[in-house]
A and B are shown apart, each in its own frame.
Chain A
Amino acid sequence: MRYNERELLSLARQPAEKAAEILMRVPKKGTPFFFAVLKKRLVKLVVNFLFYFRTDEAEPIGALLLEHCRITKEEENVFSISFIEEPERKYCFECDSEEQCQEWIEALKRASYEFMRRSLIFYRNEIQKMTGKDPLEQYGISEEARFQLGARRQ
């Protein structure tokens, strides 16, 4: 799939929501899960992308778009990211502490655009129930497709 790599690289240089040096294991095709080695990476969360770098390099090795993903607590200090269409294929991260692990899990769960959209629809609904008014109307954006209540279309 073609994509605008230059802009994605530029995004990787933006200030991070969260960044840390973490041990990471990338699932490799054909390699059993437990054979893949944990490597120290600089992991950086920017909007709904998780970039990972070799610790001394300016350009990321890779990027994960965090939509429709599942963040799972694995064993102590470890969490994983997997994607809906391939739940067995896990990106594993081993943190320095349980606290760091929980912080990352919380941050990543909220990091997707779709999560924000669901939050917005929820708040909009709640405010409408309490006031009888659509809170988006005063800004003239109540008809925007991205704010519609649960509409599923393609």
Chain B
Amino acid sequence: MKLNERSLAFYATCDSPADNAGFLYKRGERHTAYHRRWFVLKGNMLFYFEERESREPVGVIVLEGCTVELCDSAEEFTFAIRFGGTKSRTYVLAAESQAAMESWVKSLSRASFDYMRLVVRELEKQLEEMRYGMAGGCAGGCRGSPSSWKPKPSELERSLERPLALPTVLPKENGCAVWNNASGVTRPPEASGCDEDAGDGTLRPPPPPPRRRASSTEVGSAVLESPSSFCRLHEWYGREVAQLRRDWLERQRGPRP
């Protein structure tokens, strides 16, 4: 497969901000000797150079889809970049200090495109809410089966809470995490789940979360006490979801004789 290598080399060496840079020891693929290389992390690309002054990187590791783990190794301060898939290579790296290792593990585990996108969308949402306030949007409730509901706000919190070595997150009791897909790759549902119907249920549903489409500035009505409290929003949606889940489980059990 062709790759625009010259552009990659430019990206690696130009003066755009690096998310991390420093010497690391990289274990070889065939021979297990470690080689000291100068590493530069930019976005979701981890470049490595023979020397700090080298004009071109020796190689690059595309970090999409990786997990970063600490290593149980004879060598000190080792960690690994691991990919899914049967024949995937694991990159074993060693830092020169505990602090350097922690810094690298932290920055690498959050290097994905989706993580950056998540944070951008969160801030975008906060800014929209602050600018347009509580503009009345959908008056009615949103009804839909629990499984079609993807409360996006919880993704940022979850990805930040995730312990570094574990790729999976234990489902939480509030019911939110149960329906969230592990990876953030899927897009939000295109169809608007919002009906004008005021609903006849005893439960009054909260207003729908704002639709997060790039070109749209439409903001659903959100009753907020204060603008940037997505934690509170998250909790509120969580309660409704938990109730829906209880109702659904109740219905699943069926009528008792």
Report whether A15 and B57 are in contact in the complex, using a CB–CB cutoff of 8 Å: no
Bound Cα distance A62, B61 (Å): 17
Specify which chain A residues have a CB less than 8 angstroms from the CB of B44 in the assembled complex.
Answer: 47-48, 113
Q: Is A31 among interface residues, defined by CB-CB distance under 8 A?
A: no
Digit string of B33-57 for contact with A (CB within 8 Å is 1, else 0)? 0000000101111000000000011
| CB proximity to A under 8 Å, residues B1-42 | 1-11, 14-21, 40, 42
Which of A7, A65, A114, A141 contacts B65, CB < 8 Å? A7
Q: Is A20 among interface residues, defined by CB-CB distance under 8 A?
A: no
Report whether B20 and A154 are in contact in the complex, using a CB–CB cutoff of 8 Å: no
Which of A47, A61, A65, A140 contacts B4, CB < 8 Å? A65
Q: Is A8 among interface residues, defined by CB-CB distance under 8 A?
A: yes
Report whether A10 and B58 are in contact in the complex, using a CB–CB cutoff of 8 Å: no
Specify which chain A residues have a CB less than 8 angstroms from the CB of B107 in the assembled complex.
Answer: 144-146
Bound Cα distance A5, B89 (Å): 10
Which of B7, B59, B116, B119 contacts A3, CB < 8 Å? B59
Size bracket of the B interface: 35 or more
Q: What count of chain A residues pass the 8 Å CB interface test?
A: 59
Report whether B1 and A154 are in contact in the complex, using a CB–CB cutoff of 8 Å: no
**Stretch of B120-128, B168-176, B244-252 contacting A (4+ beta carbons < 8 Å):** B120-128
Digit string of A23-53 for contact with B (CB within 8 Å is 1, else 0)? 0000000000000000000000001100000
Report whether A3 and B64 are in contact in the complex, using a CB–CB cutoff of 8 Å: no
Q: List 21 A-B contacts (CB under 8 A).
A: A1-B9, A6-B88, A7-B66, A7-B88, A47-B114, A48-B113, A61-B2, A63-B2, A67-B43, A68-B7, A83-B10, A84-B10, A113-B42, A113-B113, A116-B113, A116-B120, A127-B126, A136-B123, A141-B160, A144-B107, A148-B17
- Considering only CB atoms, which chain A residue lies closest to B19 in the complex? A146
Which of A83, A86, A127 contacts B123, CB < 8 Å? A127
Report whether B5 and A153 are in contact in the complex, using a CB–CB cutoff of 8 Å: no
Report whether A67 and B7 are in contact in the complex, using a CB–CB cutoff of 8 Å: yes
Which of A4, A65, A133, A151 contacts B7, CB < 8 Å? A65
Q: Taking beta carbons and an 8 Å cutoff, which residues of A are in contact with B?
A: 1-11, 14-15, 47-48, 59-65, 67-69, 83-86, 106, 110, 113-114, 116-117, 119-120, 123-124, 126-127, 130-131, 133, 135-136, 138-141, 144-148, 151-154
Report whether A10 and B65 are in contact in the complex, using a CB–CB cutoff of 8 Å: yes
Bound Cα distance A130, B227 (Å): 11
- Contacts A8-B62, A113-B44, A153-B17 hold; do A146 and B116 have CB atoms under 8 A apart? yes
Report whether B1 and A69 are in contact in the complex, using a CB–CB cutoff of 8 Å: no
Report whether A3 and B60 are in contact in the complex, using a CB–CB cutoff of 8 Å: yes
- Contacts A4-B61, A48-B43, A65-B11 hold; do A83 and B21 have CB atoms under 8 A apart? no
Bound Cα distance A43, B40 (Å): 29
Report whether A5 and B1 are in contact in the complex, using a CB–CB cutoff of 8 Å: yes
Specify which chain B residues have a CB less than 8 angstroms from the CB of A14 in the assembled complex.
Answer: 185
Specify which chain B residues have a CB less than 8 angstroms from the CB of A3 in the assembled complex.
Answer: 3, 8, 59-62
